[in-house]
Amino acid sequence: MTTSPLSPVPLESRAALVSGATTWTTGEAPGLRALHLADGPHGIRSQGAEGDSLGIGNSRPAVCFPPAVGLGATWNPALARRVGEALGDEAAGLGVDVILGPGLNIKRSPLGGRNFEYLSEDPHVSGVLAAELVRGIQSRGVAATPKHFAVNNQETDRMRVSATVSERALREIYLPAFEYVVRQAHPWALMSAYNRINGVFASEHPWLLTDLLRGEWGFDGLVMSDWGAVDDPGAALAAGLDLEMPPSGRTDRVLAALGAGTLPEAALDAAVGRLHTLADRTAAPRGRRDVAEAEAVALLAAREAITLLHNDGTLPLAPTSRLLVVGEFARTPRFQGGGSSRVNPTRVMSALDALRDLHDGAVEFEAGFTLRGDADDSLADAAVSRAGESDVVVLFLGLADNAESEGFDRTTLALPSEQIDLLHRLSGTGRPLVVVLSNGGVVEVPWRDTANALVEGWLLGQAGGRALAEVLTGATNPSGRLAETIPVRLEDTPSFATFPGRDGEVIYGEDIYVGYRSYDTFAREVAYPFGHGLSYTTFAYEEAAVSSSGENAWRVRVTVRNTGDRAGSEVVQLYVAPPATAPGPVTRPAHELRGFAKILLAPGETGAVTIDIGPRDLAFWNARASRWQIDPGTYVLEVGASSRDIRLRMDVRSPGDGQVDPLRLDSTLGEWAQHPVTAPMVRAMRDGLPAELQDTAPELAAMAQATPVMKLTTWGLGVTEEMVRDVVARTIPGSSE
C-alpha cells in the first residue's frame, strides 16, 4: 500500500512507536534507538533508569541554572548561549538526548503560576534569549524542545481551557517568540501545549502544528506532546504531532484512525521518520560534563539576573558596616520553582553564608518569619529588637514554595502580610533598610519607598546566594533589567478582567496590549517599567546614528559612555513607534521593543552597539488579509534605558510595503475612495454630481463613506450588482484591470 522505507516495519509497531516507551524514553525498533528525554529548562532533571513511573521523584544531582525568570532579566544573549552550552554538556554527561526546554510562553498575567519558567512579557526578549539557549544546547549534540506551543499562559485548568484569542494577538504576541526560535535556531524538537486555542487542542491543531509550524516557518524537527496532553491520538497525529508523551498505550486508537481513513498512513510514517531524524541528530553528543565549569556559568548568569530597582546610595554596603540580615530566605534560599522543572542541585550556598564570606563587617541574622506563612510574632520581635545594633538592615522577603508553582496560578500579587508587617516595623527603627526579593512571579511593591534600596533577586538558581552577596557588597555591579513590568496594583494589569477565565474558556480581551504595550499606550502608572534596572555606575547615551540598510530596514548605532567610577553593563533598548494614525480599526501599541544590546564599559569608557531593524519590525498583522502589513509613514526609533526612559529619538520614513488589499463585495464607499483602482471612479462619480450634492454637509458625507457600495445597487442610482462584482474582481492582485 505504501512505498515508504518504513513499511517493512509492521503497521502495529509503527503505531506503537509514536507513543513513548516509558515516562522518559521513546520506543526502539530495528535501526532506531530509544531516546532519553529530561526536563528541563534550567537544569537536568534526569531520573535515569531507576525513575518512578510518574517521574516526580528525586533526580540525579545536576547544576541548577537561573530559571527563565532570572535568565530573562539578564538581557544577555551571549550569556544565554553559554547557559545553553552548559545545559547541553550536563545533558550529554547524564546520558540525556533531549532537553525539555526552554519555556517561552508569554507572561500574559503576573499571576501566572509558572511565570518563573518563562522569559518575558515581550516576544522579542523571549525569542532572542530562547534562540541562544537552543543554539547552545544543540551545539553539544543534544536536542532542545522549546515549549509549550502555544498560548499556554496560565496554569488554571491548563489541560482543558480554551484560549479565545484573536489572530492578530497570536501573530504579534503569542507566536513570534516561537517563530523566531524556529527560524533562527532550528530546534530539533518542540513540545505542544495542553490547552486549546480557539476551541482546538494545541496538540491536535492542524493549522498550528502543520500549516504554520512546518509550512510557513519551515520547522523540520519532531513535535512531542506535553505530558498527557493528547486527547485523541489519531487526531493528534493527523494534525502534525509526532510523539505522544508519556506512553498512553492507545495504539489501538491509532490503528482505528488509520483504518477509518482519518489518519493517513503517510502521516504515521512521517512521524516515525522524524523519530529517526531526531535519533540521528542526537547520535553523537559532543558535550562533556564539567560540573565545576557549569557551576561557574550558573554563577555568571545569577549575577547578571539581579535587578536593582531602587537605590538611594545605601548600596553597595559600606565594607565594614554592621549588618543585621533578616528573613528566612537569606538562610534558606528559594532559588527555583516547583513542578516539573525542579532540579536536584549539586550545591547551594545561602546569601547569608555568602555575606559572611564576603563582607568585612559583622553579619548578624534573624529569621523574622517562617516560610510556612504562619504568624510567629516572636521571630519578628527578635529581629526588630536587634535592628538598633546594626548600621544597615538587609531584609530578605519573597514568595515561598507554597505560594507559586507549576499547576496553579496565584490570586494576589501581594507579599505575605507578616512579611510586610515586619518590613514596616524594621523601617520604623530608623536604620537604613535594604530589601532583597526572591520570587518567580512579580510582586506588588506599594511599600517600595520605605526601603532605601530594593533588589529584585528573582529565582537565581543554585548560585543565587553568592551572586546576591556580591551585588550587596559591590563585588558585582548589578546589570539585570526588567523583562516584565512591575505594576502598581493587580487591577492595573491588562488581563485583570479575564484572567484566568471560567467554564473552560479564557478570553484574551486585552488582545495585543500585553505588558508595557498596554501600560505605555494607555499611560498607566507602573511601579517599575519594562526594561528598568539600575547600576552602581551611570551611563550617558551620547549619540545615535541611523543608516538605511535596505527597503524598510535600518542599522542604528548608539554610543554610550560610562560616566561613573565603576565598570558596569548597560542594556541599550530600541523601541519602534508607529506613524500616528487617527483612531480606527487598527490601533497599535505606543511602541514595541525591536532590539537590544548589552555592553560592558570600564569607568569613563565609551562604546557603541549596533541594532538592526527590518521590515517585520514595522509591521502589524492584517487579520482580514492574513498578512503582515507595513503602512507608509514616519516611524520613530526610540533608544533608551527602559520603555519609560527614552534618551534618543530618530525619525525614519517608510514607503510602506506597497501592498493593497483587494476590495470585497461589502467594501464601503470610503474604502473604494482609498483604493487605487477605484479612487478615480469615486472621484469621477463625485465630480459628476450636481454642485449642491458635491457640497454635502460633512456628517452626510461621513454617512455616505460608511455605506457599502453594494447597497447603492438598490437605490436606483444606476449602480448594478454586476458592476460592483466586476470592479471588486479587478482589485484582486493579478487580475487584469
- Residue 129's SS3 state is helix
What lies within 8 Å, CB to CB, of 13 at 6+ separation is 29
Residues 122-143 as b/e (b if ≥16 CB within 10 A, e otherwise) read bbbbbbbbbbbbbbbbbebbbb
171: nearest Cα among 219, 214, 110, 212: 212
Centre a 10 Å sphere on the Cβ of residue 700 and count the other Cβ atoms it contains: 10
Query: Is the Cβ of residue 188 or residue 227 nearer to ligand BGC in the bound state?
Result: 227
User: How many helices and strands in the chain, by DSSP H and E?
Assistant: 22, 26
Cell output for 669: 464607499
Query: Is the Cβ of residue 55 or residue 93 nearer to ligand BGC in the bound state?
Result: 55
Cell output for 81: 548561549
In the complex, minimum distance from the CB of residue 158 to ligand BGC, in angstroms, rounded to a whole number: 8
In the complex, minimum distance from the CB of residue 46 to ligand BGC, in angstroms, rounded to a whole number: 11
Centre a 10 Å sphere on the Cβ of residue 52 and count the other Cβ atoms it contains: 10
How does DSSP assign 81-93, residue by residue?
HHHHHHHHHHHHH
Cell output for 249: 498505550
In the complex, minimum distance from the CB of residue 20 to ligand BGC, in angstroms, rounded to a whole number: 11
In the complex, minimum distance from the CB of residue 463 to ligand BGC, in angstroms, rounded to a whole number: 23
Query: Is the Cβ of residue 40 or residue 494 nearer to ligand BGC in the bound state?
Result: 40
Query: Is the Cβ of residue 103 or residue 136 nearer to ligand BGC in the bound state?
Result: 103
In the complex, minimum distance from the CB of residue 375 to ligand BGC, in angstroms, rounded to a whole number: 34
Query: Is the Cβ of residue 40 or residue 457 nearer to ligand BGC in the bound state?
Result: 40
Q: Edge-to-edge strand order for the sheet containing 645-654? A: 592-601, 568-577, 633-642, 645-654
Query: Is the Cβ of residue 130 or residue 488 nearer to ligand BGC in the bound state?
Result: 130
Sign of the dihedral defined by the CA atoms of residues 8, 12, 18, 22, in that order: negative
Cell 534526569 belongs to residue: 46
Could you tell me the end-to-end alpha-carbon distance of the chain, in angstroms, rounded to an integer?
49
In the complex, minimum distance from the CB of residue 405 to ligand BGC, in angstroms, rounded to a whole number: 11
DSSP state at residue 171: I
Please calculate the CA angle 295-297-298 and round it to the nearest 5 degrees.
Answer: 65
Query: Is the Cβ of residue 149 or residue 329 nearer to ligand BGC in the bound state?
Result: 149
Binding stretches for ligand BGC (CB under 6 A): 39-40, 55, 100, 147, 226-227, 340
Residues with a catalytic annotation lie at 226
41: nearest Cα among 18, 7, 72: 72
In the complex, minimum distance from the CB of residue 407 to ligand BGC, in angstroms, rounded to a whole number: 8
The residue nearest ligand BGC at its CB is 340
